[in-house]
Amino acid sequence: MTSEIGENQVNDISQLIAQTVRDFALRQIQPFVREWDEAQHFPIELMRQLGELGVLGVLVPEEYGGAGLGYRAYVSVIVELAKIDGAIGLSVAAHNSLCTNHILKFGTPEQKQRYLPRLATGEWIGAWGLTEPNTGSDAGNMRTIAVRDGDEWVLNGAKNFITHGKSGQVAVVIARTGEPNTPHNATAFVVERGTPGFSGGRKEDKLGMRASETAEMLFEDCRIPDNQRLGDVGDGFVQAMKILDGGRISIAALSLGIAQGAYEHALKYAQERQQFGQSIARFQAIAFKLADMATSIEAARLLTYQAADLNDAGKPVTKESAMAKLYASEVAVKTADEAVQIFGGYGYTKDYPVEKFYRDAKLCTIGEGTSEIQRVVISRLLLSC
């Protein structure tokens, strides 16, 4: 009975948070979605407001200025944001589950006290750097290197496809500190904006998620003190894989929100659009599309919340997060595609919202590990049993 009451309380909190975020998104995000998308404008001012709302510190304990909640509540936040604008959902996800969560999980008490309150309140925006121009999924062969020089480290190299790569005030950066493709050859560091030798590079001009800034981070003889190191030397890649377990739940939630948003618009349009004297929803071809969309979304929801609940319980979640991310991301792409089809010619125009869901959805099958990489992760775990 106790566990049942606890679960009900968690669900109630998640529903309350979801409603709060939904109301905020309808007021403060929806009116500007097209404007931000077309200008590829990253609304930093909105991120500050989300920080005041508590959205940027969902996973951060109250002692560090956060909400002190778990992944179930966090998933609800990302879903509600992504239903309105996937780009804002992506930025909030990267800030929370990558940068902030890395410091929370592996930082010293001093590092947590220095960074988490600023990140949780939105005073600072966070970035997280693993991907590089030439190494993508081959992170063990990264070319960004850190060389120790007394009590300092000297970083040289570049990271790309980094959310908030130009605008973030603080970044967690994984750099190689050993030989290429050898065990324990990478280390994580916290690097603050303004540190000499650290700069933002080219901003990507993207197909979708355009209001979420994606840019390079460049390091040229960038010196940082050893007390900016996260964990032990050589543990960076191991840390990154643990962070990506949570990050994949984030992308599953993002995918779920995009799919739900596209579906809701398609359902409403199908009920309103008249052809041959009746709504197009009455035609079996459209009705069956809606049935398949709703069923796939519900399956993605169950996978995503299962992974979130396991993570909150402190149980291994690598397989479940990969499954949730793989399935939900591909559902998002399929659902957005079908939504455009239901809208017909109107779906191909910017006067209606489904074309943006269509563009945004594709990133979900690529970011934080492609669908192919998720299948590698899942199959390896299955075959090791």
Letter string b/e over residues 101-121, b meaning 16 or more CB atoms within 10 A of that residue's CB: bbbbebbeeebbebbbbbbbb
The kind and range of the H/E element at 57 are none
Rounded to 10 deg, the angle between the 236-272 and 318-343 helix axes is 30
Taking the C-alpha atoms of residue 200 and residue 217, their distance in angstroms, rounded to an integer, is: 5
Tell me whether residue 213 is one of the annotated catalytic residues: no
Contact 355, 348 (CB under 8 A): yes
How far lies 329's CA from each of 253, 326, 366, in Å? Answer: 9, 6, 9
How far lies 305's CA from each of 93, 287, 299, 302, 329, in Å? Answer: 16, 27, 10, 5, 14
What are the DSSP calls for 113-142, one per residue? HHHHHHHHHTSS-EEEE---TTTTT-GGG-
Q: Which of 80, 213, 355, 368 is catalytic?
A: 368
Residue at 12: amino acid letter: D
Taking the C-alpha atoms of residue 14 and residue 11, their distance in angstroms, rounded to an integer, is: 5
Q: Which residues are catalytic?
A: 368
